[in-house]
Structure 1
Amino acid sequence: MNRAAPERQPFYRHHTAGVGALTLRPLDVDADTPTLHSWVTQPYARYWGLTEASVADVRREYRRIEQTGYHQAFLGEHDGRPAFLMERYEPKHDPVGKVYDPAPGDIGMHVLVAPPEHRIPGFTGAVFETILNFLFSDPLVDRVVVEPDVNNTKIQALNERTGFRKHSIVDLPDKQSWLSFCTRDQYAEAVSAATPDLNEAG
């Protein structure tokens, strides 16, 4: 008799009016790699650096991340369907930690929103809100660090509208980046001033 695969339960849930339920769970490398491959190989995801990757390449990369001990990947779902990828990492163990002085309470973040099957107004804003709420739910986290490619103006704009402030342009091994930070207070201020039009895929 075949056993059913264990259900992967989300461990963080956020609900946004007009969007619905967004959840986060740890990435299941074996089960989720085909989905990730279908996202990261599309032209809009070129800044992810995997547009020419095979399924095996993507699996290898996320297995490497899983084994670091300081970098974790999470799958975000919208009403139970895969919708975005979020990575959380400790800057002091990452190349970005060599271009600024990481402070206690810093946490790094990467996000990739899936190509939409249909547009939902405010969806990407809800994704960012879910991620920031999740990261700041850890009382040890004081500031979120991002380092988008200097040419990725779309994600820079989304970051700024979520409370991130640009610090400096830095050279990382694979790109030139805008080092940016968001503190708890900056995020709270951005949420209080938010408008419902953050609906770009990022």
Structure 2
Amino acid sequence: MASADAPAGAGTGPVPHTDPSAEDTLDLPLSEELLGLFGDGTGATATTTAPNAPGPTAPSSVPPPPSAMPAGDVGADPTGPMRTTPNRAASSDLLDRPADWGPVNTPAGVFQLVPVRLERDLALISRWMNDPAVAAFWELAGAETVTADHLRPQLDGDGRSVPCLGVLAGTPMSYWEIYRADLDPLARHYPARPHDTGVHLLIGGVDDRGRGVGTTLLRAVADLVLDNRPLCGRVVAEPDLRNTPSVSAFLSAGFRFFAEVELPDKRAALMVRDRIHRAHL
């Protein structure tokens, strides 16, 4: 799994149902509250979704040592969870504070979403964005300023999209965006419901791809969202239909194919993981 996909464009979208168990419909107007949150769209995430099939690092069942963590104020305590100083977006209640979600055990090792800090993480994320396999979908190749211009609206925004490093067994190896799909331009292209939460993902290193870790981490992140966002009934994603490994990874992680959607820059597979089906996955 090399990358997630390219920008979905800007705009406003349809308003979701208020009953999570209701049937999907496209004919609902936006409320004044959601219109206000949309604003001019500058706070929304600029990319659409998901990875090609990545690969794991060595399995681990205990938190990694501090020396293995990213530089700066992210660290691991051998007797407790990792710590990070959150940015403004990561502390927002719009996504129930991803900075506080903490590490989880997975079959691939201990995993944690660590909110991005530009001064610490820009060089690494920009290097990943310049990998041809990633650039084909994210379209953010170039100087570090290109990646910085993508990150800043999220970091300085109201918290509807939070960029994170995925740290697996002590090593930063993936980039994630956790976002409010119902407040994103994506909402104009599907029957969004309140608190729908979207994920975008790219796997950074070539050595971490093609071994199935993408499926493991997608399942872990979807579980993190559902565990920490009690009002969220669905986790959604929109990989490019051409990105077959990505679509396959989502299906293997318990997402279902919902529909093909025509986005401004691609034709996407809308993938949905439902809270009500979680016990059966």
User: Under a length normalisation based on structure 1, what TM-score does the superposition of the two structures give?
Assistant: 0.82
Q: Does 1:174 align with 2:265?
A: yes
Contact 2:180-2:195 within 8 A present in 1 as well: no
What is the correspondence of 1:119-138 to structure 2 with a 5 Å cutoff?
122-137=212-227, 138=229
Structure 2: which 5+ runs fail to align? 1-70, 76-82, 85-99
Q: What is aligned with 1:102? A: 192
Cα-to-partner distance string for 1:54-96 (whole Å, 9 max, x where unaligned):
2111011101122232111111111221111111111232221
What is the correspondence of 1:59-138 to structure 2 with a 5 Å cutoff?
59-69=148-158, 70-117=160-207, 122-137=212-227, 138=229
Paired AA for residue 269 in structure 2 = W
Cα distance between partner residues in 1 of 2:261 and 2:208: 36
Shift of 1:167: 1.7
Q: What is aligned with 2:32? A: none
Cα distance between partner residues in 2 of 1:145 and 1:75: 19
What is the correspondence of 1:156-175 to structure 2 with a 5 Å cutoff?
156-175=247-266
Cα-to-partner distance string for 1:15-44 (whole Å, 9 max, x where unaligned):
124x22111111112211111111121122
Contact 1:74-1:85 within 8 A present in 2 as well: yes
Greater Rg, structure 1 or structure 2? 2
SS in 1 for 2:103: strand
1:25 to 104, 114, 118: 114
Paired AA for residue 159 in structure 1 = F
SS in 2 for 1:129: helix
Cα distance between partner residues in 1 of 2:72 and 2:112: 20
Cα distance between partner residues in 2 of 1:158 and 1:119: 12
Shift of 1:104: 1.7
Q: What is aligned with 1:147? A: 238
SS in 1 for 2:198: strand
Contact 2:154-2:163 within 8 A present in 1 as well: yes
SS in 1 for 2:147: helix
Cα distance between partner residues in 2 of 1:115 and 1:28: 20
Report how many residues are paired.
185
Cα distance between partner residues in 1 of 2:256 and 2:72: 43
Q: Are residues 173 and 129 of structure 1, via their aligned partners in 2, closer, same or farther at CA, if it must alter by over 3 Å? A: same
Q: Greater strand percent: which structure?
A: 1
Cα distance between partner residues in 1 of 2:199 and 2:217: 13
Cα distance between partner residues in 2 of 1:94 and 1:34: 27
Shift of 1:177: 0.9
Cα distance between partner residues in 1 of 2:73 and 2:110: 21
Shift of 1:97: 0.5
Paired AA for residue 66 in structure 1 = L
Paired AA for residue 103 in structure 2 = R
Shift of 1:6: 3.2
Structure 1: which 5+ runs fail to align? 191-202
Q: Whose RCO is larger (CA < 8 A, sep 6+)?
A: 2
Q: What is aligned with 1:42? A: 131
Paired AA for residue 231 in structure 2 = L
User: Under a length normalisation based on structure 2, what TM-score does the superposition of the two structures give?
Assistant: 0.60
Shift of 1:125: 3.0
Q: What is aligned with 2:73? A: 6
Q: Are residues 5 and 35 of structure 1, via their aligned partners in 2, closer, same or farther at CA, if it must alter by over 3 Å? A: closer
